[in-house]
Amino acid sequence: MRNPFIAGSFVRAENFFGRDALLREILDGPRNSLWVVGARRLGKTSLLKQLEYVAQESSQSPWVPLYWDIQGAADPRGLADLLIEAVEDSEPFRRATGVVADDLEGAPAHEILAILLRRAVRSGWRLLLLIDEGEELITVAGHDPAVLPRLRRVLQKGPELRAVVTSTRRLARIDEASPLATSPFLAGLIPPLYLTPLQQDEALRLLDRGGFDARDARAIAERTACHPFLLQLIASRFFESRDLAATLEQAAADEMLANFFLSDVHSMEAAERDLLLRIAAEPGCDRSALGAAAGVAPGRADEVLLALRMLGYLSERDGRWTVGNWFFERWLRRTPAAAGAAEAGGRP
Amino acid sequence: MALCLAAAAPAYAVKEWYDHYLEARDRLLPARRYDEALKSLQEAIRLKPTSGLNERTYGLAFENYLPYYQMGLCYMGLADYNSAIRFFNMEEKQGAIRRDVNLQRELIRKRQEAEDLERQRLARVQRQESDRLLREAAELRRARRFEDALARLAQAQKAAENLDVDTQRQVAETRDRVRAELAAAQEAEVRARRIEEALGEARRLLEADSLAEAVVRFDVVLELDPAHPEASSGKREAQQRIRASQTRAELQARLQEGRALLDAGRAEDALRPLTEAAADPSLREARELLERAQKTAEALRAQRELQAAVDARMAAGEARLGERKWPEAQVQFEAVLRLDPGNARARERLSFAERMTGEALFARFLPNQPPLLAFFEPRQPRIELDTPTVAVVGVASDDRAVERVEFVLAGRPVGQVVPAPRPDLQSQRNLRFDRVLDLAPGANTITVTAFDAQGVSVSETFEVTRRLRFYETEAFLPAAGAGALALIGIGLGVQRARRSRALRRRFNPYIAGAPVREPDMFYGREKLMARILNVLHHNSLMVTGERRIGKTSFLYHLRRRLAEDEGTEYQFFPVLVDLQGVSEADFFHSAMADVVEGLALSPEAAAALRFRPEQDEYDGRDFSHDLQRLVEELKKRTSRKVKLALLIDEVDVLNEFSERVNQRLRSIFMKTFSEHLVAVMSGVGIRRSWKSEGSPWYNFFDEVEITPLSREDAEALVREPVEGFFRFRPEAVQAILDAAGGRPYLIQKLCVHAVNRMLEAGRTTIERGDVDAISPTVLADIEEPAADQRAVAD
């Protein structure tokens, strides 16, 4: 049997595990503008790809999906080009709506969206717009702040359009940068939905693909805290080596993982980093000690702790806080200086 | 001339899959010649079982090949909607049609239409069946054959399940009435029988002067029929005779005996003494105790009879199940549950009988179809092979359940495939099989037979001719023996001649500088190769390692191994993309040039791309567009899952490019068609600094480090290339290994120079002195690898 695990690329269809409630909420819930927040490598792209897959495969679905990856757009023109490219890439979408990509050339993104929506509705569909790498909008807005209100107007046209934006929490800063006196871009998108690590049973079902011993599978789930990327990475390597202890040790010292964690820590705010480092230094500490130690106001501390827990950076049991997973904790303990250096403001 | 044409005719007469398919689709189906169209389509499927879009037919003609869909249309024409639905489902399962939304919609529409028509047909049949069963039940009821009537009603209830509420209510009410009549009839029968039995017994006991026992029996009769004249007079007579035969004291003693027995819970034993005592009207207590005893005894009797009735009904139900009389069994188990509502086994058996009643009825509405067989291998009914085995791969499907698939080779069963039991206890309608069968030399007849759950079968036969390789023929052994003797003699001479020729021609196989492309000169890396082959179908990788560690050579050999990889469901199309010297502006164009060249595209396929060899404007969007077209083109080359493998060398060049270009490259791997795309990047390292919003471009690669060769591999690289020509002294090998530290480039370079020095000296053995003499110069030429790595550090 070849290695069944997929570490890095997006997954969908039979390779996608869990997230049933989130998929249901997005496809069948009442909201037509949704923002899904997830840390890096937690499966945001896979979630969107699975939504695209489910909508395309179901003969009952009213949705015609369009996956729009906006990373690298940089400016409003780039944003429009990537939207046209998304249409060009999706033959099912073009077939369903009769849209010809060449007809869209030259139009700004919000106008293209309005055209796509009209064509979808005229063909008897509702448009499910799946926007990946949403934080790119910060860069785009830096070039032309007016692009955000225009986009917002189209994105909130429901009920014929359902827009799902995925990003890290960085997108929360988008309205800070806008000099325009219009409604905040995120107004219709909040509260966000959080993309959390997998549930234990979902993780074990995924690990079942490797035919591992139940004890090993539980150990992997526990060490990775069911973080999907770490699960797949460790399972893939363990599948090759068949030596779990060595695999875990090697992964804990792996430069790639170190960069992954460093990149995460750099994306945090100072208060978040402080709390994280504090918890790494003193695992199992309680809530009161944390707020005081990190010098964060009590209301704000609760907010930060909740966000870090939802994103899988922290976990909490009986009021005691620990770092989200064993690898992250090891890295934080090993390189607190690197983590702390992020305070200087640079990115990896 | 005429003879020549006649001889050539069979060649012209051979039809391809598309001849059959197009004949059916374009001629027979529009002419409503459905049976003939079905035959043509079956022949097309036999020749090409896999559906596809834009399949090449003849010349440059491309057609959508959807034979199962067309068969579905034929069956709709024949009003066999159930078969039509099956074939529409099979077409959908093939997957090709799902790539074209309009075609898929049409399939869904047609299937919906077939389902509606099938529902209407079923409703009509069910209505007729339900009416017929109700009529039969009414006749049986009139004939007072209530149980037979209930069996018909059980079927009628199943038949009416999908009909209107009124019909269902009519069936239910009729059944309740028949049940009530059956219960009344059975009760009357039991009562009459008990009266008769008890009366007969009482008469006998009276005559035999067993007076108390006779009274007990008369009481049973009177309990069932209080006005029964004979029982009343008989009882009176027996009581008078008791009183006449026993003194009051004796009757008093009988009372005490009866009381004691009743108190001890022996009600039935107490009946006789209490009956005797009660014959004296003055013994009022005796009468009261007797009533108590009678009630208790009656309850015990009823309990025993109930248990006996339950056992009898259960046995009858099981017997009906054994006879496959499901509705009759159902009636028996329902009767058990009326007697004993908590009987779990009866409930379980009733549920089974109900299901089988429904299935039997369903089988009448939808007659069982024979299974279907579709083959992926062999692709032709007659094939010739020179391998000792043949793979038989395909799928059996059935409208009920596939029970097994059997393989018969030359009239002898050689195996079978049975479906694994499913946890949900549902039957398996599709069964995939994949068998490798041993072939005898010459002609082999292979028959594959699929059986459904009702024993209906379908067979396909293949004629496979195995041609013998030379070493398998009878002439091989004598020829090989003679050849071996000659070879030993010649071998020694050749060895000597080869060495002197190698010396004369200055034979030096080592390669220093250029990547190693020859498989014979590529050493080690097997473990790394196996790991990459094992994960590459799902994952993209970054191969890192110091300069000149052999990354480019590794990519060349990975390309070869991927192209030869036959063991899985994936077909790799590996292409090498060399980024050395590529500028940012030219990145996507240059990469596509390598891809186009590596895939050896036909002019038509190349024309469908945006890429042109001489072109200024070609960006990431064009690159993405063309990759998508290429994936579609590659799907036409194989029936396996396509994986276009981009083996990108000198990826460190990307470190110098803007993040936007890197992001564009990343975004291509996020597109849906990238499920058919994998990459192996090779370079010294990845730039980790990242300023943009969004994900770093490299974060979907798992990294694999390429390390120096192991000692064994390094030694093999030193010795084996010159084996049979020259010899290495062991200390010379050791010196090279020590100096090179497992770096293949350095080993090759040291070997090149050491062999050259040996050749200059006219020797055929490399000495330690050769290595010592060339090492300082060679090592001085080698760049410091750490310096390169520093160049790409953050």
- CA–CA gap between residue B640 and residue B570 (Å, rounded): 5
Residue of B nearest to A142 (CA): B693
- CA–CA gap between residue A74 and residue B25 (Å, rounded): 51
Residue length, chain A?
348
Residue of A nearest to B627 (CA): A89
Q: Which residue has the higher pLDDT, A248 or B791?
A: A248
Question: Residues of A numbered 176-215 whose beta carbons fall under 8 angstroms of chain B's beta carbons: which are they?
Answer: none
Question: Torsion over CA of B619, B621, B623 and B624, rounded to 10 degrees?
Answer: 160
- CA–CA gap between residue A78 and residue A69 (Å, rounded): 11
- Per-residue pLDDT at B617: 85
Tell me which amino acid residue B479 is: A
Q: Which CATH superfamily is domain B372-472 in?
A: Immunoglobulins (2.60.40.10)
- CA–CA gap between residue A194 and residue A168 (Å, rounded): 10
Nearest CA to CA, how far is B619 from chain A (Å)?
A: 11
Task: Write out the two tokens for A219.
Answer: 């150990």
Does the structure show a pLDDT above 60 at B741? yes
CATH 3.90.930.12 fits A259-342, yes or no: no
Question: What is the predicted ipTM?
Answer: 0.81
- CA–CA gap between residue B523 and residue B530 (Å, rounded): 14
Burial of B223 (0-12, 13-18, 19+ CB in 10 A): middle
Task: Categorize the per-residue pLDDT at B251 as very low, low, confident or very high, splitting at 50, 70 and 90.
Answer: confident
- Per-residue pLDDT at B40: 93
Task: Return the DSSP state at B698.
Answer: G
- Per-residue pLDDT at A292: 64
- CA–CA gap between residue B734 and residue B728 (Å, rounded): 10
CB burial of B274-313 (b: ≥16 within 10 Å; e: otherwise) equals bbbbbbbeebeebeebbeebbebbeeeeeeeeeeebbeeb
- Per-residue pLDDT at B693: 54
φ, ψ of residue B414 to 5 degrees: the values are -120, 10
Question: Residues of A numbered 306-345 whose beta carbons fall under 8 angstroms of chain B's beta carbons: which are they?
Answer: none
| Contact flag A8-B539 (C-beta cutoff 8 Å) | yes
- Please check whether the two domains, B188-299 and B372-472, share a CATH topology: no
Average pLDDT, chain B: 83
Mean pLDDT, rounded, for B608-630: 88
- Per-residue pLDDT at B7: 42
Decide if A91 touches B, using CB distance below 8 A: yes
CB atoms within 10 A of CB A348: 20
- For residue range A105-154, list pLDDT tens digits in order: 999 999 999 999 999 999 889 999 999 999 999 999 988 888 988 998 88
Question: B130 with B166: CB under 8 angstroms?
Answer: no
Structurally, at CATH architecture level, domain B18-99 sits in: Alpha Horseshoe (1.25)
- CA–CA gap between residue B72 and residue A130 (Å, rounded): 36
Q: How far is CA A141 from CA A67, A114, A346, B497, in A?
A: 21, 20, 21, 78
- Residue from A12, A75, A133, A209 whose CB has the most chain B CBs within 10 Å, to mutate: A133
- CA–CA gap between residue B451 and residue B405 (Å, rounded): 6
- Per-residue pLDDT at A112: 95
- For residue range B531-553, list pLDDT tens digits in order: 888 888 888 888 888 888 888 88
Task: Outline which parts of chain A fall under CATH 1.10.10.10.
Answer: 259-342
Pick the CATH number of A19-194 from 3.40.50.720, 3.40.50.300, 3.30.1330.40, 3.40.50.10800: 3.40.50.300
CB atoms within 10 A of CB B43: 18
Task: Outline which parts of chain A fall under CATH 3.40.50.300.
Answer: 19-194
Task: Write out the two tokens for B524.
Answer: 């080690």
Question: Residues of B numbered 79-108 whose beta carbons fall under 8 angstroms of chain A's beta carbons: which are they?
Answer: 98-102, 108
The sign one gets for the Cα dihedral B123, B124, B127, B132 is negative
Size of interface A-B (CB pairs under 8 A): 118
Helical segments of B608-729, H only:
620-635, 659-668, 711-719
pTM: 0.55
- Per-residue pLDDT at A295: 63
Task: Write out the two tokens for B682.
Answer: 């090779």
Annotated domain spans of chain B: 18-99, 188-299, 372-472, 519-705, 711-789
| Contact flag B689-A136 (C-beta cutoff 8 Å) | no
Fold of the domain spanning B519-705: Rossmann fold (3.40.50)
Nearest CA to CA, how far is B434 from chain A (Å)?
A: 15
| Contact flag B535-A135 (C-beta cutoff 8 Å) | no
Cis before A62? omega within 30? no
| Contact flag B99-A52 (C-beta cutoff 8 Å) | no
- Which of A18, A331, A68 lies closest to A203, judged by CA? A18
Structurally, at CATH architecture level, domain B188-299 sits in: Alpha Horseshoe (1.25)
Q: How far is CA B376 from CA B257, B391, B435, in A?
A: 90, 10, 12
- CA–CA gap between residue B357 and residue B345 (Å, rounded): 18
Pick the CATH number of B711-789 from 1.10.8, 3.90.245, 3.30.1390, 1.20.120: 1.10.8
Task: Categorize the per-residue pLDDT at B771 as very low, low, confident or very high, splitting at 50, 70 and 90.
Answer: very high
Q: How open is the CA angle A268-A273-A275, to the nearest 5 degrees?
A: 135
Q: How far is CA B767 from CA B594, B711, B751, in A?
A: 44, 20, 11
Does the structure show a pLDDT above 90 at B30? yes
| Contact flag B694-A6 (C-beta cutoff 8 Å) | no
Residue of B nearest to A8 (CA): B700
